[in-house]
Amino acid sequence: MREVRVDARPRLHLGLLSLHEGAVRKNGGIGFAVEGPVAEIEIREGSRLIVHDDRPLPMAPGERDLLSELLEQFALDHDMARRGAIRISGCMRTHVGMGSATAIRLGAMEALALLNEAHIATDRLVAASGRGGTSGIGINTYFSGGLVCDLGRPSDGSPYMPSSRTMPIRLPLSLPIVPMPPWPILLCVPRSIAPKTQQEEIAFFERTTPLPASASFEASYVALFEIYAAAAESDYHAFCRGVMQMQATAWKRAERAEYGEPLRALSMNLLDAGADCVGMSSLGPMLFCFAEPTRIAAIAGRAKALNCDVYRTSPANAGRSVAKTDA
């Protein structure tokens, strides 16, 4: 009996970049991998393919069924004879901004391929996952970690949509991945702010895009000349300034406005407690903050008092880990 385990790391998505009408390239983005909380994906050889989600806050039954169907089709398309029970555990959260959809899809598909001793090229694995149509961050950090700045893909006239509704005909083009320095990070998931549903996310894109061209130019400048450059030069204070500047760009302001005063108040409280910068990952509502090591504990205490689930972590410069055993 064969078993395979893949531990997939989360990613923080700082913002999309090119969202204006007539853009030469669309979407783009910047973000980086963090060490945890991870999603542990195990597959044990069995008679049929079935998915169990044992995380404290599992995905919805419909999402689990969709993942099962995707994996079954992946196995059929690549002539894989072996099936098995897939068990998802760990504390990676769904629908809060950790990139769980991409990480779990890729992890489950890679585990199934390894169970069948099938060597699937990275680009084919990503294409089969159906992810990467809007953002190239998670599909890169899954394999490599580090900080990723992706330049999107050529515009084709189609409307701007989230990854859940965009099939990747052509994967995003990314700049060289930059290793992140080991700066402490705190992830704060507010219990009192409900995450957006898939339909709410789609509606948000429909009413918010396209943006003015100047908004794309500003976000791209911040991503490249402030965040990407600061990470490459290990300039902590410049990096934090860049994170805060990204929060002030048009797209990020619109994302944050979806949660109104409660999210703004939480951000201000984290800054007041000693955070050097606070950002929202993807469409949230999870916030992340950077701070000096001596202040992290106090900030975590403030976040917990404000009814947040808190995770202490740091940037990850490696992708998923894989283990295979033959029982």
pLDDT at 161: 85
Delimit the CATH 3.30.70.890 region(s) of the chain.
185-313
Residue labelled with tokens 């490459």: 232
Contacts 24+ apart (CB under 8 A), 151-157: 151/25, 151/28, 151/175, 152/17, 152/18, 152/25, 152/26, 152/27, 152/28, 152/29, 153/25, 153/26, 153/27, 154/24, 154/25, 154/26, 155/22, 155/23, 155/24, 155/25, 155/26, 156/26
Question: Strand, helix or coil at 120?
Answer: coil
Q: pLDDT exceeding 90 applies to what percent of the chain?
A: 88
Q: Which stretch of 160-164, 191-195, 303-307 has the lowest confidence by average pLDDT?
A: 160-164
Supply the pLDDT for residue 148.
98
Give me the sign of the Cα torsion angle 50, 56, 61, 67.
negative
Both structure tokens of 301: 């205490």
The torsion defined by the Cα of 138, 140, 143 and 148, in degrees rounded to 10, comes to -100
Amino acid at residue number 195: P
> What is the reported pTM?
0.95
Tell me the pLDDT tens digit for each residue of 240-295.
999 999 999 999 999 999 999 999 999 999 999 999 999 999 999 999 999 999 99
Phi-psi region of 319 (alpha: psi -120 to 50; beta: other; left: phi over 0): beta
- What is the total residue count of the chain? 327
Q: Which residue has the tokens 């808190």?
A: 310
With respect to CATH, is domain 2-178+317-326 assigned 3.30.230.10?
yes
The pLDDT tens digits of the residues spanning 7-25 come to 999 999 999 999 999 999 9
Sequence ranges of the chain with CATH classification 3.30.230.10: 2-178+317-326
Rounded to 10 degrees, what is the CA torsion of 291, 297, 298, 303?
A: 90
| DSSP per-residue codes, 242-293 | HHHHHHTSHHHHHHHHTTHHHHHHHHHHHHHTT-SEEEE-TT-S-EEEE--H
| Stretch 187-208: mean pLDDT | 95
**How far apart are the C-alpha atoms of 304 and 25, rounded to whole Å?**
41
Single-letter amino acid code for the residue at 78: H
Question: Are residues 326 and 202 in contact, defined by beta-carbon separation less than 8 angstroms?
Answer: no
Q: How far apart are CA 13 and CA 11, in angstroms?
A: 6
- DSSP secondary-structure letter at 74? H
CATH of domain 185-313: 3.30.70.890
pLDDT band of 47, cuts 50, 70, 90? confident
- Amino acid identity for residue 163 in this structure: S
Residue-level pLDDT at 315: 98
